[in-house]
Structure 1
Amino acid sequence: MLELIDLKAILIIAMIFIPLERLLPLHADQKVLRKHWLNDVIYLFFNSILIKLGFIALVGSIMIAIRFVIPGGVFAVVQAQPIWLQAIEVTLVADIGFYLAHRAFHSVPFLWKFHSVHHSIEEMDWLAAHRVHPVDQIVTSAASLIPVYALGFSGSAIAIYALIYQAQSLLIHSNTRIRFGPLKWVLASPQFHHWHHANERQAYDKNFAGQLPFIDALAGTLYMPERMPRVYGTDDPVPPLYHQQLAYPLKQLRVPAGALSQQQPGDTHP
């Protein structure tokens, strides 16, 4: 039954985003069945299993320890707030955790090997949002949600956050020219996130937030010019197929130090 519900959700999402990307395309010459689309379909159907198992194991073990540290009264205070206020707070707390984890995956060579799989995307669309190495997704999700769980936010507020996060993730990767106007400084848009994926030097290590661009503005990592990127991807030698991409970071760890440069998209780090 779960698999059936998930399949229905995927079909609904495809029925929304495929026409949307045809009606309001950013890159009009990009095909629906663009390069490596099948690889990302495999991510869509199979990656979630690995991520759910890893996330439960990691977060579950950490939360057992945290329960002995956080006073029980904190939960009562947090959950006494209106659900709408909790949902806003969850989004802020989670996105700060996301920002810090995401920035670490760009800064630490060991972590970048996993994150470079996501940056190997050369044609942006809603489907490409799913190309994330399980280790990357598990660690980033844990960094986002462990503080949320530790503070005792209600399940309803977390569910609202999760629903908005999933929808926004698909939209910001989509091949659409949708602009948010003045709200672009508050809510992540395709304009904001496409620049994070740009293989252009001035955009390296920018726009780390998942939902709230003002976090990048406060941290000095915001880059959002009016024009849109011309080229996406990374210069790292990420292989093209799902099973190869799962193994890629682990294989890179066996390469002698200095044999490969540690690269951000198109950049070499010391």
Structure 2
Amino acid sequence: MIESFNRILDSVTGWIFEVLVQPAMYELGLMDWADDAIDWIEFGLFGIFSILVVYAVCRPLEAWRPVEPVTDRGAIRTDIVYTLLTRLGLLPLIAFVLLASLQAWWEGTVADSGFVPPTLENLIPGLREAPILAFFLYVVVLDFGEYWRHRFQHRFGWWWALHSIHHAQRQMTFWTDDRNHILDEIIGALWFGVIALLIGVPPGQFPLLVLITRLAESLSHANVRLSFGRIGERLVVSPRFHRLHHGILSTADHGKNYAVLFPVWDWIFGTADFRRDVFPRTGDPEAPEALATGGWLRQQFVGLKRMAGAIAGRSGT
């Protein structure tokens, strides 16, 4: 399945480059950037595909059984801008450049030192013969890392100043997943990428891991009255489970339900709230109004200003 997906992605990328991009680059004398252009096209195509998958899954659910009526379409449009910039625009380019540089540095350092990184397949040799089990373990380890990144976003004042942009949304939908400060997105991409490198995630499997994570996070933010039941709620994060995290009383370091995919982390570390049929209002009553109703640029500026204030130790941040 993974190989088939990668082959299709490579074929479409090659066609777009050869037919649409390469002639223009040749005329402009930019062929030295050909390899980078191919990588960027592939990145963009994957972003489009992930948006289509999320929309196909989440939009019908929101139309079927919404938690609340849509009263602020402007706020949702701002979240759509976040999604497009995150998955198709500047942020993927920044993340790609940083992660590519990081990977090159890591591989060079390892090669020069002769050190063999303790990847999962090195620690558990049998995983080489069980690719499906290996993939599942990659998901588990990465989800554990995401749980703690999320905890830290709420724990440290400067990080919360950035992350509060995400929690300020009062009209939460599946588009809200990408409502993050650009600096927070970069930190998150590096965090996820470093863990993936350390545990030895094969490059061919990385896009599918990202797609699964994005789909799960978008679904958990959806405006849908959906619970997975008493047992299911303890196995996979549901929209109800995560909405409790976004409730107006669950902000800063007083939150619950930090998990991205598996609620077991919240259960182990004492941050789980498994109350059923509870769908609170969302938002951060302590956040400036600009973080709730401002446009993308305004929210980015206010978030950066609040982070600087938190670092300087000023109150009100």
1:92-138 deviation per Cα after TM superposition (whole angstroms, max 9, x unaligned): 11111111211111111111111011111112211122211122122
Cα distance in 2 for partners of 1:252, 1:259 equals 9
Matched, 1:236 2:296: no
Decide whether aligned partners of structure 1 residues 221 and 233 sit closer, same or farther in structure 2, where only a CA change above 3 A counts.
same
- What code does the residue aligned with 1:260 have? S
- Partner-residue secondary structure (3-state), 1:80: helix
Q: CA deviation at 1:255?
A: 4.3
How many angstroms apart in 2 are the aligned matches of 1:112 and 1:248?
13
Q: Distance in 1 between matches of 2:151 and 2:46?
A: 34
Counterpart residue number, 2:96 = 56
- What are structure 2's unaligned runs of at least 5 residues? 1-15, 17-40
Contact 1:172 1:189 (C-alpha < 8 Å) held by counterparts: yes
Q: Aligned equivalents of 1:125 and 1:19: distance in 2?
A: 12
Which one of the candidate residues 198, 223, 227 is aligned to 1:179?
A: 227
Give 1:159 deviation, angstroms. 3.2
Are the structure 2 counterparts of residues 148 and 10 from structure 1 closer, same or farther at C-alpha, using a change threshold of 3 Å?
closer
In structure 2, the CA distance between the partners of 1:76 and 1:95, relative to structure 1 (3 Å rule), is closer
| Structure 1 residue 243 displacement after superposition | 0.3
| RMSD over aligned Cα atoms | 2.8
Offset from partner CA, 1:48-95 (integer Å, 9 cap, x none): 333223323443444445443550684864672422112211111111
Which of residues 36, 39, 43 is equivalent to 2:78? 39
- Specify the alignment match of 2:315 in structure 1: 260
Q: CA deviation at 1:35?
A: 4.5
Maintained 8 Å contact 1:117/1:238? no
Which one is further off, 147-156 or 2-11? 2-11
Shift of 1:145: 3.0
Match for 1:105 among 133, 153, 158? 153
Partner of 2:116: 71
Distance 1:8 1:88 in 2: 22
Q: Does 1:142 align with 2:190?
A: yes
Structure with higher Rg: it is: 2
**Total equivalences in the alignment:** 260
Give, in whole Å, the separation in 2 of the partners of 1:254 and 1:132: 17
Matches within 5 A, 1:218-233: 218-233=268-283
* Structure 2 residue aligned with 1:249: 303
1:166 is aligned, of 201, 214, 217, to 214
Query: Does 1:206 find its partner at 2:256?
Result: yes
Q: 1:41 to 1:192 in 2, by over 3 A?
A: same
Distance, in Å, in 1 between the alignment partners of 2:193 and 2:271 is: 23
The residue type paired with residue 124 of structure 1 is M
Higher helix share: 2
Tell me, which stretches of 5 or more residues in structure 1 are unaligned?
A: 263-270
Q: What code does the residue aligned with 1:197 have?
A: H
TM-score (norm 1): 0.83
Bigger mean CA offset, 157-166 vs 52-61: 52-61
Q: Provide the C-alpha distance between the structure 1 equivalents of 2:176 and 2:119, rounded to a whole number of angstroms.
A: 39
**Native 8 Å contact 2:216 2:261 kept in 1:** yes
- Hey, what does 2:136 align to over in structure 1? 88
Matched residues in 1 for 2:245 and 2:118: separation? Answer: 40
Q: Deviations over 1:186-234 (max 9, x none)?
A: 2111111111111125993211221111011111111231132322111
